[in-house]
Amino acid sequence: MTAPWTPDEMMTVAASRLLWNRCVCFVGIGLPSAAANLARQAHAPDIVLIYESGTVGTRPHVLPLSIGDGELADTATAVVPLPEIFAYWLQGRRVDVGFLGAAQIDRFANLNSTVIGDYARPKTRLPGAGGAPEIAANARQIFIVLKQTPRAFVPALDFRSSGGFMEGGGSRARSGAPGRGPQVVITDLGVLRPAPDTEELQLVARYDGVTIDQVVKATGWPLRVADSVDVVGPPTAEELQVLRDLHARTKAAHARPVSVPY
């Protein structure tokens, strides 16, 4: 029997549940933004969302296309200069969660959002890291959300844009990075967390209808599996309704024709 929700919806819901009320969250565009705004509308009304463009406490009615989307500034408590976002909020250790996505991740939760292939002659040139390296280094903890495939979960990154646990075994702490680093990776199959002994990612939870073997096969390295693997509860009717309404509003808003004066 097919579940009445999609893997993307399950992933977004699972990610949103990790955020709490009054949490200060530095949000990336895409899946992190969807999860953070679902949390705000479903169970964390006083969450403080910060986007890299300088919008603090923003409450968008629709999901932004980019960090420069006017929807973020229109609904923000304050819009501050970019240096203040990084120096006062991020480096000042005022950000509870940095919520990031990426194109590639390795077993120690290092991220690539720069290139696929050789840097000098890449197969694909990606948008780049932006502020993600600073977020990954300075936020109190990092949440990562991305779809799980062997092409995304790779044994070696084509380019390391943002540091997770570096080479593991305490190398992040020795680097001097002040934040705790990636504490959870939420995928469309389950949830991974760093193992306490090595800092290597391991499977700690799966979704209903997903097997451990499926998760292992969707990973480009031999994935560690925790001694006990939980099953994440399915989305509630309320969570699905809020998320689907959010996506429907976003689709309608972005489908409007833009008038360009001649």
What are the catalytic residues?
A: 52
Q: Which residues contact 172 (CB under 8 A, 6 or more apart)?
A: 163, 164, 165, 166, 181, 199
What SS3 state is found at 50?
Answer: strand
Residues 6+ apart with CB under 8 A from 252: none
Radius of gyration of the chain (CA): 18
Number of Cβ within a 10 Å radius of residue 152: 17
d(CA 177, CA 172): 7
CA atoms of 37 and 158, how far apart (whole Å): 31
CA distances from 238 to 45, 141, 189 (A): 15, 28, 21
Q: Which residues of 89-106 are buried (b: 16+ CB within 10 A; e: fewer)?
A: bbeeeebbbbbbbbbbbb
First to last CA, the chain: 54
Distance CA(219)–CA(200), nearest Å, equals: 13
Q: Quick check: 96 and 139 in contact, CB under 8 A?
A: yes
